[in-house]
Amino acid sequence: MTKIDPIYVGHDAIGHLLDYVKAHSLNRFCIVADENTYPALGERVEAALKGAGHEVSSVVLEGHHIHTDEHQCMQVFIRAPLGPLTFIAVGSGTITDVTRFVSHRTGRPFIGMPTAPSVDGFTSIGAPIILAGVKTTILCQAPLAVFADLPTLANAPQALIGAGFGDMIGKITSLADWKMGSLLWDEPYDTAIAARSQAAIDSVVNNADAIGNHTEDGVRALMDALIESGLCMLDFGTSRPASGAEHHASHYWEMKRLGEGRETQFHGAQVGYALTLVAKQYAKIRALSRSQALDMLEGATLPSRESEVESIRAGYGAMVDDIVKEHRAFLDLDEAGFDQLKHKIADHWDEIQAIAAKVPPPEEIATALHKAGAPITWEELGLDADEVQPGFDYGHYLRNRFTVIKLSRVLGVPLTV
């Protein structure tokens, strides 16, 4: 198990950073930031390290809303000094993931200094990177330590704080999908990690008002929960405890927009909105009786591989081959395997209903999002009306994971927005 030590959230993040690098004899650094996070915190970090006699350079990525893609990674590869050093990621999700990838690929460590409680990836090993238009999570490395400056976090833009809240409570259906995947698709599952993630979700829901009001206590609760979610992924080894159908829809919307040269929305904000729709789907599953489900299973037929590939082509265009590779386990399912899946659904129907019953009603989720200042409609989010549905029609192809969307397809209860 990878150890991140320390993880500090408080008023003296820079002071704790200086103590840490002195204690570990680190003296050469490259700060990675963007045009927003460098003035928010990066300049102070750079000045403090230089004031302590350390060698420091900074790579400030340009652009109002940058993305974790080949271009930004290459910028850091080119502009960072050669030789031994420690990277310092001063920013939110994109900066952290770019730094994580580059530091790992160059064999050098990094330290995280978040500037907004906007994502749960600060303490994880995975870097979601858009490669050739496809959002792929690449296993890299965790930071040596994390130092989060609480006043900076509390002063982050509302859109970023709302995105962090959306990303965190999105775990409601991530956990439900994960449990269902363990029952129906033999996915590895860890009860203790699921319990830790649920406790983190409960904490942010209980602090929704405080988070929406940018109080330090509320923002600390959100940041602590996001860090815990990242640690859950780190301890489990993949993003499975924190990513289900709601995340797949968000990934699809982002990929589609980037492929069309359009501006994307914040990932966590999209996750929060998608969560309301996935929760609505769980409510449909919960409303089905056992006899209704058995009737649906009796009439269920395995879609042909050809029709599925054509559907992937319709949703992903030139990326079809990459998505087909990711979805191969489902595409290669034969009639015997499909029958086995249907039998598993029937055998575990009571457990599926119990899982669905733990997902709060979509109205309750929307209320929590509103309190935290996160968008709850596609209009608020900035999506177009005709791009919402494709997130669920095609997003599930992105990962070899069983979700409520997969279950709904088998039963013939599609998600409609």
Q: What is d(CA 103, CA 230) in angstroms, rounded to the nearest whole number? A: 18
**The domain that contains 116 carries what CATH number?**
3.40.50.1970
- Answer yes or no: is 1 within a domain: no
**Residue found by looking up tokens 């698709």 in the block:** 185
**Phi and psi at residue 126, to the nearest 5°:** -90, 140
Residues 110 and 168 in one domain: no
Which of 134, 156, 178 marks a domain boundary? 156
- Answer yes or no: is 214 within a domain: yes
- Answer yes or no: is 417 within a domain: no
- Please give the pLDDT value at position 170: 97
SS3 content of the chain, % helix, strand, coil (to 5): 60, 10, 30
**The domain that contains 359 carries what CATH number?**
1.20.1090.10
Phi/psi region, residue 63 (left: phi>0; alpha: psi -120 to 50; beta: rest), is left
Q: Which distant-in-sequence residues (6+ apart) come within 8 Å of 54 by Cβ?
A: 21, 26, 27, 28, 29
Q: What is the pLDDT of residues 10-63, one digit of tens each?
A: 999 999 999 999 999 999 999 999 999 999 999 999 999 999 999 999 999 998
Residues 229 and 359 in one domain: yes
Token pair recorded at residue 417: 């927005």
- Answer yes or no: is 150 within a domain: yes
Domain count, the chain: 2
Residues 277 and 215 in one domain: yes
Question: What percent of the chain shows pLDDT beyond 70?
Answer: 100
- Please give the pLDDT value at position 3: 82
In three-state secondary structure terms, 32 is strand
Residues 147 and 222 in one domain: no
- Please give the pLDDT value at position 2: 66
Tell me the mean pLDDT in the region 182-204. 97
Which of 131, 156, 181 marks a domain boundary? 156
In three-state secondary structure terms, 87 is strand
Tell me the mean pLDDT in the region 390-395. 97
- Answer yes or no: is 416 within a domain: no
- Answer yes or no: is 205 within a domain: yes
Which of 156, 187, 217 marks a domain boundary? 156
Residues 216 and 331 in one domain: yes
Going from the C-alpha of 85 to that of each of 21, 94, 240, 347, the distances in angstroms are 12, 21, 32, 55
- What is the span of the domain harbouring residue 368? 161-411
**Are the C-beta atoms of residues 173 and 282 closer than 8 Å to each other?**
yes
113: confidence class by pLDDT, cuts 50, 70, 90: very high
- Please give the pLDDT value at position 63: 84
Structure pTM?
0.93
Where b means 16+ CB within 10 Å and e means fewer, 160-170 reads bbbbbbbbbbb
